[in-house]
Amino acid sequence: MFSGDILVLKEQEVRSLLAGREMELIDTVRAAYRAHAMGDTSLPQSSFLRFPGDSPNRIIALPAHLGGEDGAAGMKWISSFPGNLAMGLDRASAVVILNSTETGRPKAVIEGSVISAKRTAASAALAALCLHKQEPVSCVGLIGCGVINFEILRFLVAVWPGARRFRIFDIDLEQALKFKEKSQKLFGEIEMLVAADIKAVLSGSSITSFATTVLEPHVSDLSVCSVENTILHISLRDLSPEVILSSDNIVDDVDHVCRAQTSIHLAEQSVGHRNFIRTTLPNILICAATARDDSGRVVVFSPFGLGILDIAVGKLVYDLAIARSFGKIIEAFCGT
């Protein structure tokens, strides 16, 4: 490609390029987090576009830059419209734009919902690897039976092939049953129990992932969890401030997660400080902090979802596409 050309990649092309690359994606996310911990990133705050009188729907812009010899820059533009589910559409849709770090010109427009889901799942699996010290993993809980938790299931199975017991819950029983059928079809002989409520998931699982669409906290008690449990609080707004304040809290970036009325943000507003956040996953990855403390509290990982992950995975997709001649190149998109 020449400067001014732009590569366009569709969803199925992105999906094909990333198929079976779970461990490589985890390594890509690990490298991005380490770069962030070392200060080799630029990560402005995300911008939320909301619609007056329509609180559930939003579109978010996540610009980011990864440094290093083979750096990358760009932005993810992702929408979340929960009402899409009733129309048979995915809740989220997205586009990732990559820019040249030499000229600033756009060089790729990539369908972004697959990238977003897989980088989220890779981050969750990486956190589980780092934070969960109880072996073997006896049972995994999944609260919310949508796209994100399905990808998290895929990555956790890749990380722990021996994990064969899962408890799932969704407020929509039909959605949970479809999730069960799809999971067993793809992953073979796994035990997939549809739980009656969230408490049943928490009490029977050593790792639990929350990936819901709720806007306000609805879980106010983790007493059914053992102290060895690890909570992947991916959807960020499920746990009450009281639960957050009583947990061992790990985040991806303190400034980013303390906004937009996340559970972490609500806890900060409640007590007027951020001291309840012990450290970040990037700091753990560079050995600047320990994975777990000795307080005997449940570990909760609350990742805001950093744009550097989308750019890192987007660059991986771009490099794979160029190597394999995927996508459509629009010549002279930015002139001659």
Phi/psi of residue 332, nearest 5 degrees? 55, 40
CATH of residue 281's domain is 3.40.50.720
Q: pLDDT tens, 84-122?
A: 988 988 888 999 999 999 999 999 999 999 999 999 999
CA distance 26 to 21: 9
Q: What percent of the chain is predicted at pLDDT more than 70? A: 99
Closest to 76 (Cα-Cα) out of 322, 312, 333? 312
Whether 288 and 220 share a structural domain: yes
Whether 69 and 46 share a structural domain: yes
Whether 326 and 229 share a structural domain: no
Whether 26 and 168 share a structural domain: no
CA distance 152 to 209: 8
DSSP string, 149-165: HHHHHHHHHHH-TT--E
In a domain, 90, yes or no: yes
Q: What percent of the chain is predicted at pLDDT more than 90? A: 85
CATH of residue 38's domain is 3.30.1780.10
In a domain, 36, yes or no: yes
Whether 16 and 75 share a structural domain: yes
Residue 312: domain span: 6-115+307-330
Closest to 238 (Cα-Cα) out of 220, 225, 250, 226? 220
Whether 110 and 138 share a structural domain: no
Q: pLDDT tens, 310-322?
A: 999 999 999 999 9
In a domain, 127, yes or no: no
In a domain, 271, yes or no: yes
Residue 232 pairs in a beta bridge with 209, 301
In a domain, 125, yes or no: no
236, 248, 263 from 244: Cα distances, Å: 11, 8, 7
Residue 188 confidence class, pLDDT cut points 50, 70, 90 = confident
Whether 290 and 249 share a structural domain: yes
In a domain, 335, yes or no: no
Tokens for 230? 């690890």
The mean pLDDT of 34-44, rounded to a whole number, is 97
Closest to 252 (Cα-Cα) out of 202, 303, 289? 303
In a domain, 318, yes or no: yes
Specify the pLDDT at position 326. 98
Whether 148 and 246 share a structural domain: yes
Tokens for 326? 């995927």
Whether 65 and 170 share a structural domain: no
CA distance 167 to 253: 29
Whether 276 and 313 share a structural domain: no
In a domain, 245, yes or no: yes
Whether 13 and 149 share a structural domain: no
- Give the chain's radius of gyration (CA, Å): 20
Specify the number of domains making up the chain. Answer: 2
CA distance 211 to 145: 8
Alpha helices per DSSP H over the chain: 11-18, 22-37, 113-131, 147-159, 173-187, 198-204, 241-245, 254-257, 263-271, 281-285, 307-324
**In the chain, what is the straight-line distance between the N-terminal and C-terminal CA atoms, in Å?**
12
Whether 172 and 273 share a structural domain: yes
Residue 154 confidence class, pLDDT cut points 50, 70, 90 = very high
CA 151 distance to own-chain centroid:
9
Q: Are strands 106-111 and 140-143 parallel, antiparallel or unpaired?
A: unpaired
Residue 32 confidence class, pLDDT cut points 50, 70, 90 = very high
